[in-house]
């Protein structure tokens, strides 16, 4: 029987870091112990060696069931342990998404302000040029007022 126990262990546990296999083997042992205890309570006797071997051979058919349950236990445990970290990462992602959206809005506003600022500068330059032209014309007219007025009045007098 000792060889049979090792066989089931070897079937379930592939290497020393096979946590899933070890959990599966523990589940198998737990069910086996439960069956033996129930048998003793019902029939008031312990299982014979032949009955134990038969039970063990029947349990060989359930190795995949134990492995599946073991994987589910591991997955649930990992999820339970990782959930606080996942929640924190999701919270940080939300903050980063908010900041990214805020930066994108500021970038768009900057582009709009830059274009508006450029056009404002163009109009200021045009208006300043026109004012300069007008002031220059006034200065030229005032400097040459005598000449211009004499030409203007002379032409009026001749008519």
pLDDT of residue 117: 72
Number of C-beta neighbours around residue 23 at 10 A:
21
150 phi, psi to nearest 5 deg: -70, -40
The label of the residue with tokens 């236990």 reads 73
The label of the residue with tokens 């058919």 reads 61
pTM of the prediction?
A: 0.53
Could you list the mean pLDDT of each consecutive 10-residue stretch along the chain, which spans 159 residues?
63 92 93 91 88 85 92 92 91 93 85 71 87 87 71 67
pLDDT of residue 68: 95
- State the Cα–Cα distance between residues 78 and 26, nearest whole angstrom: 18
pLDDT of residue 20: 93
pLDDT of residue 8: 85
Q: Are 67 and 24 in contact (CB under 8 A)?
A: yes
């Amino acid at each position: 029987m000792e060889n049979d126990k090792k066989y089931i262990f070897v079937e379930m546990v592939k290497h020393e870091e096979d946590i899933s296999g070890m959990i599966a083997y523990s589940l198998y042992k737990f069910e086996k112990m439960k069956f033996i205890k129930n048998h003793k309570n019902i029939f008031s006797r312990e299982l014979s060696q032949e009955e134990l071997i038969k039970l063990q051979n029947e349990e060989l058919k359930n190795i995949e069931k134990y492995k599946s349950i073991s994987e589910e236990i591991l997955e649930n445990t990992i999820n339970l342990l990782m959930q606080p970290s996942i929640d924190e990462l999701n919270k940080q992602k939300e903050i980063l998404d908010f900041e990214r959206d805020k930066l994108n809005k500021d970038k768009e506003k900057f582009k709009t302000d830059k274009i508006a600022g450029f056009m404002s500068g163009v109009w200021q330059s045009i208006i300043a040029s026109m004012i300069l032209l007008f002031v220059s014309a006034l200065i030229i007219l005032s400097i040459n007022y005598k000449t211009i007025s004499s030409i203007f009045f002379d032409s009026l007098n001749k008519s």
